[in-house]
Chain A
Amino acid sequence: MEETKKKEDQSSTHKIGIYLWIWGLLFVLSFFSYLVDWYQFQGMLRWSLILFFMFLKAGLIMAFFMHLYWERYALVNVLLWPMTAIVCFVALMVAEGKYTLFSRLFYFFVGG
């Protein structure tokens, strides 16, 4: 009886080690992304490093701190697929931003 109870408790909660690991990793990754600014990396290297550390941190927080890794797929998919809409929106606005910049330069400086 006692043993089965203990087993149930363990299945509903996770070992403390995993939280401490993720916690430590988040500190390390934040430190690395700070170093990107500290060493003044520029251009593609800077942007790709920033994005890499950002997505890694976001993924760790969502997967382990928010328990998404252990949730059933029905919930995970409902939450993650709408993000593709945001990606589309970003793509649209990148194109729009370029066009706005072009027309501003064209009409303000060239004069149409």
Chain B
Amino acid sequence: MSDPKIEGFELEKGFRGMAKDTGSDQTMFKGVHWGKAMMWIFLLSDTFVFSCFLIAYMKGRASTPVEWPNPSEVFALDAFGVPVPLLLIALMTFVLITSSGTMALAVKYGYERNRKMCGYLILATALGGLTFVGMQAYEWSKLIHEGVRPWENPFGAAQFGSFFFMITGFHGTHVSIGVIFLFIYCYKVFAGHYDEGKRGWFTKMKGDYVEVEILGLYWHFVDLVWVFIFAFFYLW
């Protein structure tokens, strides 16, 4: 995970180390599993996709002369008859952060080869993700009942709906895919595939707990994107 030791070489730290790693005529990311590097590259490209959506939303919101719907009223939820602003969104945020924390611990216990703890924590992460998707489905159906459409809504600027469904929908898709993979990896951990080094699908690579970390990177990224959506779409 950190400070790889290659026999006979002492790897330098910092920018000097970076220059040496890059110019070593060898693998550039020293001590980084190729699957992890590829996941990072994928996440980088995904960052650009989400950025494009959020920038489009910024531009759309900044360029309309019609008033933008007030998110703390649109997303308010009645709790015991009192409208609480952003209640559901706050709960969704807390659920997602909780699942992110359990995932981080799952990675830790995975590297410690603690099969049971790792498996249970991945299961908890998957259940958290499932709760999040459920809450999002509820949020969508509530707004659709209130008449929000991609082309119109009763609250203000017509662009609101298309940005809302596009951005939260794309994020929800990521969460859903993550949940599916979390359940698969939960099974693989409990079945001991990473202890025995059992091969996965489509690959000759032997199973290892580094795969849990790679899955964890994806899951934390989903949480990371939500941080930005929460700030720009719901709070701004």
Interface of A toward B, CB cutoff 8 Å: 9, 11-14, 16, 19-20, 22-23, 26-27, 30, 33-34, 36-38, 40, 46-47, 50-51, 53-54, 57-58, 61-62, 64-67, 70-75, 77, 79, 82-83, 86, 89-90, 93-94, 96-98, 100-101, 104-105, 108-109
Contacts and interface: CB of A to CB of B under 8 A. Distances in A.
B55 A23 contact: no
Contacts of A13: 1, 108, 111-112
B224 interface: yes
Contact of A74 (B17, B51, B62, B217): B17
Interface residues of B, number: 61
Contacts of A46: 235
Contacts of B47: 82-83, 86
B63 to A, nearest CB: 4
For the residues of A in contact with B, the DSSP-based class is: helix
A38 B21 CA distance: 49
B231 A34 contact: no
B220 interface: yes
The 4 closest A-B pairs by CB, nearest first: A97-B62, A100-B63, A70-B2, A73-B18
Contacts of A19: 101, 104-105, 108
Contacts of B165: none
Contacts of A97: 58-59, 61-63
Max count, chain B CB within 10 A of own CB: residue among A61, A66, A86, A108: A66
A75 B217 contact: no
B64 A101 contact: yes
B59 A54 contact: no
